[in-house]
Amino acid sequence: MHMPWDELKQALTAQKATFTQTDPVWTVAGANGESFRAHPAFLDEVRAAGGLPDLLTATDRTLAGALGRWRVTLDRHLTGVPEARTALGLADHRFTALDEQITLLRYHETARSQPGAANPVIAAAGTAFADRRQAATVHDFTQLHAFFLAAVNSFGGAYDAHTYPGRVDAMYALAVGSPAAASAGPVRLGTVTDWQTHQPGFAVSVHAAAARLNFRTPDALAGHALKHVLRTSPQIPGDQAGVHGLIATYLQEARDKVTATSTATVTSALAQTGATRTYYFGVVNDHATMVAVNSSGDAWISTYYAPTRL
């Protein structure tokens, strides 16, 4: 009788890896001495692509290349999570699931390169800003925190703890109150199959629905729009028309990139934890709209960046 993940188990054993099956992620320890946790669907995708040997037996540059290609966070990397919590002013009991820890770690790694993020007062103020808006998930938290940093950075000058939070609040109200943000939310475009394995047909469905696509929440749209402002006009406007225009232009560019990309060139990758599969419309790390889909078939824009934007 064929059992789920039979080929995966055989492949892991062939690489002399040990694994513990738990729900929803497995713990895998490679012959190279490295361990990590991952969803079996992700592991099976790596297996099918011939990537298990590099992850489980390789070391040094070969392993580093495999980690980058598959976006794998090793267990030893997670020892950096307490540092990220301290830098953000987050209590230990918050966002403790594997996916949440990975998200916090990656956010901290990218955020600390931004002006102001290294200042513990500003970083803590960003956390307070997210908390005032009752960030329910780690993604809500990081998007709100990113919005705060981007807004503060746009003001220029030395941070003023008395006036800057209020200025960010005003900008936030304009951003999430924009017409473009009103339509934020997932769109049901697919099924569990489109999440579990790459489906060219799903890319076609996304292409056809580009005009309806939006970010998962108004916070996500606002946070990304401020982070990726146009290089030619990095100063974020303070008036309603200016902020609404900034948000609308960013969303339209993201949709346009989906429309302009040949669906035959679209690639995708499942997240290590299995939370979402991301379909890439464009060239990764250069000019692309990323569309996420979960196991229910709900889809949304997860980010958009371009050479013309920061």
48-95: per-residue pLDDT in tens? 999 999 999 999 999 999 999 999 999 999 999 999 999 999 999 999
Average pLDDT over residues 170-195: 97
Buried b (16+ CB within 10 A) or exposed e, 10-32: ebbeebebebeeeebbbebbbeb
Domain boundary among 171, 201, 232: 171
Per-residue pLDDT of 232-255, as tens digits, reads 887 889 899 999 999 999 999 999
- Same-domain status, 85 and 139: yes
Residue 106 lies in a domain: yes
- Same-domain status, 65 and 119: no
Work out how many domains the chain is built from and give that number: 2
Find out whether 153 and 115 touch, Cβ atoms under 8 Å. Answer: yes
Which range is least confidently modeled, 107-121, 195-209, 279-293? 107-121
Average pLDDT over residues 119-147: 94
pLDDT confidence of residue 118: 87
Residue 112 lies in a domain: yes
- Which two structure tokens, joined as six digits, stand for 292? 């996420």
- Same-domain status, 145 and 81: yes
- Same-domain status, 145 and 123: yes
Computed over every residue of the chain, the mean pLDDT equals: 95
Question: What is the dihedral angle through the alpha carbons of 167, 171, 174, 178, rounded to the nearest 10 degrees?
Answer: -170
Of the pLDDT bands very low, low, confident and very high (cuts 50, 70, 90), residue 115 is confident
- Same-domain status, 67 and 42: yes
- Same-domain status, 106 and 49: no
- Same-domain status, 31 and 85: no
Residue 115 lies in a domain: yes
Instruction: Give percent above pLDDT 90 in the chain.
Output: 91
- Same-domain status, 88 and 56: no
pLDDT confidence of residue 268: 97
d(CA 172, CA 181): 11
pLDDT confidence of residue 1: 41
Q: Which of 75, 80, 92, 151 is nearest to 116 (CA)?
A: 151
Residue 234 lies in a domain: no
Print the domain residue range for 56: 6-72
Residue 124 lies in a domain: yes
Residue 179 lies in a domain: no
pLDDT confidence of residue 113: 82
Of the pLDDT bands very low, low, confident and very high (cuts 50, 70, 90), residue 3 is low
Domain boundary among 146, 171, 196: 171
d(CA 88, CA 121): 9
- Same-domain status, 84 and 145: yes
- Same-domain status, 48 and 101: no
Residue 68 lies in a domain: yes
- Same-domain status, 20 and 91: no
Domain boundary among 171, 206, 230: 171
d(CA 256, CA 68): 28
Residue 101 lies in a domain: yes
- Same-domain status, 65 and 93: no
